[in-house]
């Protein structure tokens, strides 16, 4: 069998930045940052903007999360396009 054909599959912690929720799972992703988990071990930390803990589909709550001003940029482009017509 060919060696090193598959990526390394290991335990990592995902942290939802919008709700400060973290969970330990297995993934092929790697990170430079680590975090000490409840079991006392250190794991790579992957930060995400949204997870099942904060996503409107899973929570049933609609909330607008504007990361990096994307909504404002869209509205400005929309307004500029409307003036040209």
Domain spans, the chain: 10-84
Query: CA-CA distance, 53 to 21, in Å (whole number)?
Result: 7
Q: For residue range 5-15, list pLDDT tens digits in order.
A: 888 899 999 99
Query: What is residue 85's predicted lDDT score, i.e. its pLDDT?
Result: 56
Q: For residue range 36-77, list pLDDT tens digits in order.
A: 999 999 999 999 887 777 766 666 676 566 666 777 888 888
The torsion angles phi and psi of 67, rounded to 5 degrees, stand at -95, 115
């Amino acid at each position: 069998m060919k060696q090193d054909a598959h990526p390394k599959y290991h335990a990592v912690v995902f942290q939802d930045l919008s709700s400060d929720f973290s969970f330990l799972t297995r993934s092929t992703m790697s990170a430079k940052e680590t975090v000490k988990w409840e079991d006392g071990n250190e794991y790579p930390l992957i930060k995400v903007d949204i997870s099942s803990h904060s996503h409107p589909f899973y929570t049933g709550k609609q909330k607008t999360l504007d990361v990096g001003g994307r909504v404002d940029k869209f509205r400005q482009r929309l307004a500029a396009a409307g003036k040209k017509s």
